[in-house]
Structure 1
């Protein structure tokens, strides 16, 4: 969480020098106290996050392009656009093609500080690009490639072009226990339960989505 707050604090200072974009309608979220009761963050943490959110999105709503711009601040060594697209697509939108602060906060709360089941549900939604309740090999490959692009020069060891496909082929075959060519939520959960390192990573998702 400290990583999020530090970046958002920097983001606020950087954005405050810009003029607020004109907007006929502004979406106002609930109070920090009310949002804290509905999430796993404190009112202070929510205030800091909202300041950064509002500086990029003065209307109180964020579209996909603005969301990509926000992500790029957190991952300057790589290309965050494709991964940001998958994250944006995985969030359930109540306002058409835009995301409210409450929706952003709800997602971050579940991913960063939710239960293992909540984090698994989020991971499944991230990979299930078409929302059909199954993860195909191509969907998994697309997300893994996006992660490699996201890390960029920060990847250790350096990522080779074939690394993403090799990794997906290995992991997908282990997950797809019934051999039907897709991964179900239960298959994902069973595979994660057998991987202590992955479970630990789910417990430490207190970072940017």
Structure 2
């Protein structure tokens, strides 16, 4: 019963965060009319044209205009830095430490590993996470776990991300999770994915394993809301 309550609390917290993230990106989706024929251009960074963004994402023209308006409100330069990204997380997980998980998430959005996320970076990631097919979502999640971006997930990388997730949730949600328990969970999870036992998980192994395991898929969907 206690575990069920903690899971429900976790889901509510993650759902609230997802709503907050959308408001952050969209500027609360203002109902004002949008007459601009082109996405407005910030001084420091020039985004792709709205036609190009429509072709690259699953958002409509109007949605892209509203999304960009919200993005520009928080990032007038057109570039999102990691400190601002972490501030969003910290406001919704006050009882946990968001530092590591927000860092891993930020570098997953930062396609060029430049230390800054452009509107294109953010909108393309958001398009996959909100509207992409399951396989694309799993590919994006694989990239999150692949911390050093070498195309493989190691057991150490998986453990680091899982620790970061529990740190973000805080002791009030996961009061009895010990390092040894978490390591055992990661060991079991990793061995199911590493079919050829070469001590690394490829994106194909990751996707195949997750799609075949109902419990893994449910777990992935819960954590997707945190993104």
Q: Give TM class, smaller chain.
A: 0.7 to 0.9
Deviation at 1:82, TM superposition (A): 0.9
Q: Is 1:115 the equivalent of 2:115?
A: no
| SS of alignment partner, residue 170 of structure 2 | helix
Aligned-pair distance for 1:74? 3.9
1:164-175 paired onto structure 2 within 5 Å: 164-175=182-193
Query: Structure 1 85/137 Cα, relative in aligned 2: closer, same or farther at 3 Å?
Result: same
For residue 116 of structure 1, report the CA deviation from its aligned partner.
Answer: 1.7
Query: Could you list the runs of 5+ residues in structure 2 that have no partner in the other structure?
Result: 1-14, 30-41
Contact map agreement 1:112 1:205 (CA 8 A) in 2: no
Which 5+ residue runs of structure 1 have no aligned equivalent?
13-23
Q: Distance in 1 between matches of 2:224 and 2:154?
A: 27
Shift of 1:86: 0.7
* Counterpart-to-counterpart distance in 1, 2:68 and 2:171: 30
CA RMSD of aligned residues (A): 3.3
The alpha-carbon distance between structure 1 residues 79 and 33, as it changes in their structure 2 partners (threshold 3 A), is farther
Aligned mate of 1:160, from 160, 163, 177: 177
TM-score (norm. length: structure 1):
0.76
Residues 40-79 of structure 1 mapped to structure 2, 5 A cutoff: 40-43=58-61, 45-79=63-97
Match status 1:150 vs 2:172? no
Give the Cα separation in 1 of the matches to 2:67 and 2:24.
10
Length-normalised TM-score, structure 2: 0.71
Q: 1-side partners of 2:64 and 2:97: how far apart?
A: 27
Q: CA deviation at 1:126?
A: 0.7
Corresponding residue for residue 39 of structure 1:
57
| Paired residues of 2:85 and 2:102 also in contact (CA < 8 A) | yes
